[in-house]
Amino acid sequence: MNTLSIVIPVYNERRTLLTLLSRVLSVDLKGMRKELVLVDDCSKDGTTDLVRSLENDVWRERMASMGVPSARLREASIKMLYHQVNRGKGAALRTGFAAVSGDFVIIQDADLEYDPNEYPKLLVPLLDGRADVVYGSRFAGETRRVLLFWHSVGNQFLTFLSNMLTDLNLTDMETCYKVFRADVIKGLNLKSERFGIEPEMTAKLAKMRYRIYEVPITYSGRSYAEGKKIGMKDGFEALYSIIRFSMFDSDYVKGGVVEETLSKMNALEKFNQYLFDSISKWCGNRILEVGAGTGNITRFLTARGEVTATDYNPDSVDRLKAQFGALEGFRAEAWDVASEPPSWMVEHGFDTIVCLNVLEHVDDHEQALVNMRRILESRQGRLLLLVPSYQGLYSDLDRNLGHFRRYESEELKALLEKTGWKVEESFRLNMAGVLGWFINGPILKRQRLPTAQLGLYELLSPVLLGLEKRIPKRPLGLSIVCVATPSRP
């Protein structure tokens, strides 16, 4: 049974909190459990005492007295958390996200502007596997209270600016109702203390290339006389956050530089297209992709025929299934290339193995190459291998990405021959990247790839890669590509 965790940041909401809780608890989620996580942000109006009075299951009695059905109460639990000083909505949400244990997470303000009866509608794209995140849009056609013209103009301007910098087409970035797969929101490295949390979440979700859906919702906005708290100062903070987190913030995944870098590389559309074009003439139509990650190249391979995408990380496999599972001939499986391939993989009859930016992550790379050779021996298929070049460029950038090494051309060729491969062709790729890696790695000793530089590289890619295409025998390149076949005994 799935659980929906409902994170409720609370600050000076004594008049509305009990009504809000009764509405949340009364929603029928068709068997899904509810976990309410209340975070009192050091309220000054008696809200803190009210929350404490609900501890030790007293909330069940209070909610039953307010008409919440007993069946709904049996499906629910509540956690009460407290800040000792007022820190802001962003800090309260971060505290709540850290405490959730459900499968999905939704944000619920403690006022009565948003209707919890929208939960089932918001959950649909998540439950059917189409989305990783769902936004409830106040401006997409549902009933709403007509109120506060300049407030709505500010919302729309902030959404417009956010969309420009994230390349999304949201209609309501500032909406409270955001629903996430739990692993998505718990994996983001959020920093905002106040209302900048909304654009920060949006920027980081966009950078991670998560699938975001919008669902129209009803909205009953409050006036300032009725207790609305957000003001012009918060609007300027949101503006700052949009620019900061969209353009300059690099560490947006908790302890996951590899996943973060995969998302950054996923955004390099022109480079990924160029990479695929560079190997496409050797691709067959029964392809095994090793180390598919977030699907940077998978989306191009699926146009060539049958594709089995593998990765050692089960979360990556789940994401691949969600993204490409509806395509005919696609399959995603967990497999560590350093371990013996399962029998079905050996017997499947693959004619191509695509292994891009994987071998450097494997401690026993010789065994990995032997395992891949076993898969192709019966059909004499091709291995399309890409690895980082120049051991002299090895730096903290590589260490943080989990690279054991970089490769020299002759060393790589000798390694392939030793493990039973015959190199048909070898060439260098990404000439411009050599200078960037040298500056950021050995010179500046950076720990991760700068987002702004990658964005500039993508912008200049048509010129840089266009020039590279005109040089058939490239004297240098950040990567080496090898096309190899199993050696005959």
Identify the structural domains of the chain with CATH numbers, from first to last. 3-255 (3.90.550.10), 258-486 (3.40.50.150)
pLDDT of residue 257: 66
Longest dimension (CA), the chain: 84
How high is the pLDDT of residue 225? 46
**Could you report the per-residue pLDDT of 263-303, keeping only the tens digit for each?**
677 677 889 999 999 999 999 999 999 999 888 899 999 99
Q: What sign results for the dihedral spanned by CA atoms 52, 55, 60, 61?
A: negative
With a cut of 50, list the residues of the chain below it in pLDDT: 222-227
pLDDT, position 230: 60
Burial of 163 (0-12, 13-18, 19+ CB in 10 A): middle
pTM score of the predicted model: 0.75
pLDDT of 161? 87
Determine contact, residues 381/485, Cβ cutoff 8 Å: yes
At CA 157, angle to CA 155 and CA 162, rounded to 5? 95
Closest C-alpha among 298, 342, 339 to residue 317: 298
Segment 145-162, tens digit of pLDDT? 555 565 567 778 888 888
Distances (CA, A) of 75 to 5, 53, 61, 113: 12, 21, 15, 24
At 223, give phi and psi (nearest 5°). Answer: -85, 170
The confidence score (pLDDT) of residue 250 equals: 64
Give the number of other CB atoms < 10 A from CB of residue 61: 11
